Structure 1
């Protein structure tokens, strides 16, 4: 375990040093970062509004009519039971199947808002369940107090680790991986693997990242944090994220402080 941690820390330090040198040598880099940040914020707002629209559609045009139809089916079952009790069994069987389908749809909507594993297991155990089958060995460590994390930070951390581990599973061909989470004034996350590394365009040699890499940055940005991905061919990849624990508006929203 110590050798894995030491290797990951050394690799992270090397990447950080290289990034700092590149930053000082490349003046336009700051302007590009500013532009990328603005685009990321715009994508976050667009994505958030799209999710709200989708959820409203699912509730109003999907779940609402389904529940109304189930109520009508209950009335049908009541009438059938009173007049032709011998025909009630298939009616109840169909009603049960439709209820099971509706429960599944509600669970999918709830998962989109907050993964149930966070409430059932807690952040660390939920991440451990994500790591199963990722590669031959995955070490997970959490340094600091695990309690009292803001809900938004928990979700962002879970989503980032989930995406990083999914990428390792699908693309890295890694034998080992390491997930380090530490807490001080912020929540710090590092996911490192010993795989083949990222292609050139994903390491910054092409257009801004899309797909999973972009989503990780957006999840971090939603809570005022940041996420970086560094990689070397044949050495591995490191995902690093900083998530502020003082999420703007969190205390007021969840405690009711300041409300009339």
Structure 2
């Protein structure tokens, strides 16, 4: 029998280091938090719309703590965990009424396996809500990095999941019902360096298993120039963050 091996696209160690660095920045104060603030607000709105008041919640991700604070007013018990060093997002028995995963699922090597673990951790009738930065995001950053190394560009941004693929993944994981949708955040930047700083603050930089070498000083300047070329008449570049949200119910 031939064992199928999951491709190791992401590094668990780099993922953990990225998370701890962002967590420290958030606790220090003044760090960018707009992606996770938006995810927390979206989670609140969806729970209120569905009139869901869970008894027990498992929360993965959320370096800002904003989702945890929101859930604390809606649930009797909230267990907040850091992203796992392994591909399973939740190795727990089926006791949670709600599992929320924010900004973590897109950087596991075995996404179907992680979703199966999430489903297994839910109680019957429980709901999983998964949000992450999806395909179509950061187009100006992607173009700038390609311009930095025009001859042999290195892989500096990881693959992203779109809404359609997310829906198929939820079906594959065995959720009884599933909804996949998304929305767009638009953020304006005066310089590439500020965008990179915001990504670091929110644990959104790449965690590829085979990290590329640092850009040379010349290549970095080419990237800055290419990013600036996309500026509007006010000298600002509009970058898009496409937030994908997957919602699934367990029988």
Same fold (TM over 0.5): no
Name the structure where strand makes up a greater proportion of residues: 2
TM bucket, shorter chain: under 0.3
State the TM-score, normalizing by the size of structure 2: 0.24
Which is bigger in relative contact order (C-alpha 8 A, separation at least 6)? 2
Name the structure where helix makes up a greater proportion of residues: 1
